[in-house]
Amino acid sequence: MKRFTIAFLAAYIFLFVWGWLINGVLLKDIYAESAHLWRPENEMRSLFHWIIIGQALIVFGFVMIYASGFAGGGMIAGIRLGLLLEIAAIGMCLGFYAVQPIPAKLIFYGSIGGIIEMVIVGAMVGAIYKPAPAGSSSQ
């Protein structure tokens, strides 16, 4: 449980900072080109807690999946899990692109950012979370 919590916290902090860097700084101009699709900035700020809950849910689900089926494989297993989840998520993004007038370059750069993000999250979780030794119930 202790390693689960540490893995969760480390991955969450990274996801939060990376999300801000990608969406709040690097892709800012592309978001501005499609302003009609987004809430005004003051409205986003008042709903910021949903972003925090959403990111926490992503990381919690990730660590749960890793702990229940990939633990023991270390960083490589974590990276593999991150890649599989993110590429499937890119499929979902293509579905959104088909129905929403989101700029194609936002999907493209967002997907690259997402792959880097999930590879690093996977490596962190894989490096931190270790399965409990046989006969132990401490994890």
Partner 1 sequence: MNWKKFFFAFLGAFVFLFVFGFLWYATLMHDAHREVPTLLRPEADLKSYFGWLALGQFVMAFFFTLLCARYVPSGRAGAGAMLGLLVGLVYAGPHLISFAVQPLTFKILFGWIAGAVIQFAIAGAIVGAIYKPANEHIMYVREPSH
Among 30, 56, 75, 120, contact with partner 1 (rule: CB under 8 A)? 56
Does position 2 bind partner 1 by CB under 8 A? Answer: no
Shortest reach from residue 1's CB to partner 1, in Å: 17
Could you give the count of Cα atoms lying within 13 Å of 115 in the half-sphere of its Cβ? Answer: 10
For residues 11 and 121, the answer to whether their CB atoms sit within 8 Å is yes
Structure tokens at 42: 């003051």
Which of 88, 134, 135, 138 is close enough to bind partner 1 by CB under 8 A?
Answer: 88
Distance CA 68, CA 108 (A): 31
Given CA atoms 102, 53, 78, 64 in this order, what sign does their dihedral have?
negative
13 binds partner 1 (CB under 8 A): no
The correct pick among 2, 25, 35, 48 for binding partner 1 (CB under 8 A) is: 48
* Residue 84 or 116 having the CB closest to partner 1: 84
Q: How many CB atoms lie within 10 A of CB 21?
A: 13
- Interface with partner 1 by CB under 8 A: which residues? 36-39, 43-44, 47-48, 50-51, 53-58, 60-62, 64-65, 68-70, 72, 80-81, 84-85, 87-101
